Amino acid sequence: MSHPIDRQPAHRPRAGLCRGLGAAAVLAASLGLGAPGQAAPAPVPAPSSIRIGTLYASTGPFAVPSLAQYAGLRFWADSVNHSGGVYVQAFHKKIPVRIVAYDDLSSTSTATALYNRLITQDKVDLLAADFGSVLTSVAVPLAAEHKMLLLDQSGSSEKFFTSATPYLADVSIPTTAPEGVLLTRFLLDHKVRRVAVMYDANDFDAPLARSIQESLGKAGVQPVYYHAVPTTESNYNVLLHTIAATHPQAVLELGYPPNDIAFLRTLAQSGLHFDLTLTVFPGQMLGLIEHNVGAKALAYTYTYPTPPLVRYGKVSYGMDTAGFAKAFEQSTHKAPTYLDCVGYNTGLMVEGVLGTAEHFSQADFHQALTRMSGKTRTLLGAFALSPEGAQTGQYFPIGQIVPEGKELKVQLVYPPEVATAPAVIPALAH
């Protein structure tokens, strides 16, 4: 269903797509390779609102991060509308923003139908994907088919970014391969060579696991355990004891929040203890994971810390990390998570695109993003795109969660240039 912010989308002529251009010309323009003498897109009338289409999941395994991401985008929209809208260079004026959003229920089949509806029926001007690689995966081919720029908010799968998808831009999250390489460097630098890897068989976790396996292999190290589980996995008791039988120094569980919660709960109850345990989502949603597993289960484990746990200043657009955290909490009465920051960051990318695109067309939107690449900083850090649209400007460091009084604190431990404390290996046991 439609979110109350736009329950009855108004239908109007599609201004955003460049249907009048040939496929080769569109591809060249989207990559910033315009041909000499190529005619500019025909002028279009200014719309009454800028319509941003997106999806969210109210239920299912992706609901909590999806709703947080959506909340961040709505926070941005409310902020710019409070000042009269977003400035649109193509029309030399501010225009209000309207979000057109539907609930995909964490289902890829439902998401496919709803992305198609946003493009073909609602005729939105800009399209932003739902949370994560799984729900983004079905949007990528649709955006390519309709030659529409897709703002990939948090889908990091390497397989998305090819020359066949010129209308894709990862605006917030680093791709999986560099994160796997960084983690492998951390392990090897700390003399950790017996590594167990358990990962969800999906578009996010499988590429990350593969990157770790390949990076270890280049150093002559093979994981002592390397095993995929369904994304729906919730029973880790037998799996943990099977892992323990391989005598690993490090156990890496790569999953989504429900997986991390079930894994950490089971580990805390099992009596097992490893020198190093890493899960992904405590670094993105620490409050959620702590609430569900307890501080003791998280103490001295490792994760990938993200904003607002990591803070960036000197931004090109919007608020810096600290400013956003304060404003978001004042507005919503809850502390922001990384996914709230991601949704807000997507809005900042929209702001930059519309504020600099010469014409109101998908090719010009993509060109504007390309021009922003390497010159832009937001609350998430540096923004830079590869030629295929992958995010290369940001990366997640390695952090360790340590008790500090009655609270938990995330200390950055790797790489050395950002480290705030040394890694505690073996991890202390409670």
DSSP 8-class letter at 154: S
Report which residue type is found at 193: R
Cα separation, 43 vs 37, whole angstroms: 17
Mean pLDDT calculated for residue range 1-17: 39
Q: What is the DSSP string of 50-104?
A: EEEEEEE-SSSTTHHHHHHHHHHHHHHHHHHHHTTSEEETTTTEEE-EEEEEEE-
**Cβ(217)–Cβ(162) under 8 Å?**
no
User: Which of the four pLDDT bands, split at 50, 70 and 90, describes residue 11?
Assistant: very low
* Torsion angle of C-alpha atoms 208, 211, 212, 213, degrees rounded to 10: 120
User: Per-residue pLDDT tens for 219-237?
Assistant: 999 999 999 999 999 999 9
Q: Kind and range of the H or E element at 346?
A: helix 338-356
User: Which of the four pLDDT bands, split at 50, 70 and 90, describes residue 19?
Assistant: very low
DSSP 8-class letter at 389: S
CATH class of the region 176-308+396-414: alpha beta
**Cβ(257)–Cβ(281) under 8 Å?**
yes
User: Per-residue pLDDT tens for 61-78?
Assistant: 999 999 999 999 999 999
> What percent of the chain is predicted at pLDDT more than 70?
90
User: Which of the four pLDDT bands, split at 50, 70 and 90, describes residue 166?
Assistant: confident
Sequence-distant (6+) residues with CB within 8 A of 102 are: 1, 2, 3, 55, 56, 114, 117, 118
Could you tell me which of 370, 341, 400, 374 has the C-alpha nearest to residue 172?
A: 341
User: Which of the four pLDDT bands, split at 50, 70 and 90, describes residue 165?
Assistant: confident
User: Which of the four pLDDT bands, split at 50, 70 and 90, describes residue 20?
Assistant: very low
Q: What is the mean pLDDT of the chain?
A: 91
Higher pLDDT, 126 or 428: 126
Least confidently predicted of 2-11, 95-104, 106-115, 368-377: 2-11
User: Which of the four pLDDT bands, split at 50, 70 and 90, describes residue 5?
Assistant: very low
Residue-range domain boundaries for the chain: 4-175+311-383, 176-308+396-414
The whole-number pLDDT of residue 6 equals 45
Whether residue 194 is predicted with pLDDT greater than 80 in this model: the reply is: yes
The whole-number pLDDT of residue 43 equals 73
Cα separation, 208 vs 214, whole angstroms: 10
Q: Pinpoint the alpha helices (H) of 121-249.
A: 132-137, 139-145, 176-189, 205-218, 237-244
Mean pLDDT calculated for residue range 108-118: 98
Same fold, 4-175+311-383 and 176-308+396-414: yes
Q: What is the DSSP string of 201-230?
A: SSTTHHHHHHHHHHHHHHTT---SEEEEE-
User: Per-residue pLDDT tens for 297-323?
Assistant: 999 999 999 999 999 999 999 999 999
CATH of domain 4-175+311-383: 3.40.50.2300
The whole-number pLDDT of residue 98 equals 98
Cα separation, 150 vs 166, whole angstroms: 10
Question: Parallel, antiparallel, or unpaired: how do β-strands 250-254 and 150-152 relate?
Answer: unpaired
Whether residue 267 is predicted with pLDDT greater than 60 in this model: the reply is: yes
Q: Please give the structure tokens belonging to residue 290.
A: 């702590």
